[in-house]
Amino acid sequence: MTNPKGLRNRSFTLDEGGQVMVYSNQTRILLQLRREIATEVDILQPSFKAAVALTPAEALGLASELLQAASIQIGQKESKPVA
């Protein structure tokens, strides 16, 4: 897919096969989630593409929540004793 005109693109490929795309410029922030599964691989797994426009406050709130969730999980991994 081509980058929408005038928008910066940052793509994150996920371990489970999906993608998160962030498109932005000085006036817009768009978050797109994608998951494509070929029907010959698994006919029951859904493919989808959805996008939402975010306000700056919503983007910061989402970023904050993701950072908090990730830091908790990383902290738990580091505090486990090594056998």
Does residue 3 lie within any of the structural domains?
no
What is the mean predicted confidence (pLDDT) over 56-74? 96
Task: Report which of residues 55 and 80 the model is more confident about.
Answer: 55
Question: What DSSP designation does 49 have?
Answer: E
For tokens 């081509």, the residue is 2
Does residue 67 lie within any of the structural domains?
yes
Does residue 63 lie within any of the structural domains?
yes
pLDDT digits (tens, 9 = 90+) for 18-38: 999 999 999 999 999 998 887
- Total domains in the chain come to 1
Domain that holds residue 45: 8-79
Diameter of the chain measured on Cα atoms: 53
Does residue 1 lie within any of the structural domains?
no
Q: Where are the alpha helices (DSSP H) in the chain?
A: 56-79
Does residue 54 lie within any of the structural domains?
yes
What pTM, to 2 d.p., does this model score?
0.76
* pLDDT of 65 over the 80 cut: yes
Q: How confident is the model at residue 72 (pLDDT cuts 50, 70, 90)?
A: very high
